[in-house]
Chains A and B, each alone.
Chain A
């Protein structure tokens, strides 16, 4: 099983700032099969990024993903108020599909 570790656990930033979230895998994720999700309190997760760097339908271009192998990054270029949420990475290169523990992005 691939274990995903996200850092930091909590990130405190202000609207307009840049956010960089990290996801590290315990072994190489095949074919850059890495996705990012956003989850707000009481809501289901929403797919943001798949294939490590492709934005899902309707996702603003301030969200971008990068990385390969074991190290992946989600970047939000300029934070909007609605971006404060919990972000999860997920690998789908092998079974079982696994998620990271999440990074909480909070308003400073």
Chain B
């Protein structure tokens, strides 16, 4: 059974940093592109970033470029999102998901990030 479990969310002040993790199991993690998607309270889903299997390709939505970094550790079956210079508008539930040619087949349950003073 495919499982994706996010962790690392919490309350952080504007300008602060947070690192999200996503632990994968039940599938061959190293063979999948992976993605982060977020959803602000009551808002639409927003794709944040994705990463190729070997980390040689990474893409970001414009609003997080230069502030967020996606990475992975295939030996640990884990995906990460380093978030710096956080803003109030980054407040959202962050989901990790498998990225199969652009569709998000499997999702974790999400981790809530709240940016507030």
Residue contact B45 to A45, C-beta cutoff 8 Å:
yes
Q: Are A47 and B110 in contact (CB under 8 A)?
A: no
Extra inter-chain contacts (20) besides given A44-B110, A92-B102, A102-B44, CB under 8 Å? A35-B102, A35-B103, A35-B104, A37-B45, A37-B104, A39-B45, A44-B107, A45-B45, A45-B107, A47-B103, A47-B104, A47-B105, A56-B105, A88-B44, A90-B47, A95-B59, A96-B47, A98-B47, A99-B45, A101-B44
Q: How large is the interface on A (under 10, 10 to 19, 20 to 34, 35 or more residues)?
A: 20 to 34
**A45, A47, A97: residue with the most chain B Cβ atoms closer than 10 Å:** A97
Q: CB within 8 Å of A: which residues of B?
A: 35, 44-47, 50, 59, 61-62, 95, 101-105, 107-110
- Residue of B with least CB distance to A94: B102
For A100, list chain B residues within 8 Å (CB): 44
Cα A101 to Cα B61 with chains together (Å): 17
Tell me, in angstroms, the Cα distance from A19 to B49 when the chains sit together.
32
- Chain B residues whose CB sits within 8 angstroms of the CB of A50 once the complex forms: 103
A14 touches B (CB below 8 Å): no
Docked pose: A97 CA to B110 CA in angstroms: 19
Query: Taking A44-B110, A45-B45, A90-B45 as contacts, is the C-beta distance between A97 and B95 under 8 angstroms?
Result: no
Min CB–CB distance A57 → chain B (angstroms): 8
Q: Is the CB of B109 within 8 A of A44?
A: yes
CB-CB contacts of A68-104 with B at 8 A, as 1s and 0s? 0000000000000000000010101101111111100
Which residues on the B side are within 8 Å of A96 (C-beta)?
Answer: 47, 59, 61-62
User: Which residue from chain B places its CB closest to the CB of A93 in the assembled complex?
Assistant: B102
Chain A residues with Cβ under 8 A from B44's Cβ? 88, 99-102
| Across-interface contacts of B104 in A (CB, < 8 A) | 35, 37, 45, 47, 90
Query: Is the pair B102, A33 in contact by a Cβ cutoff of 8 Å?
Result: yes
Contact of A99 among B47, B101, B105, B110 (CB under 8 A): B47
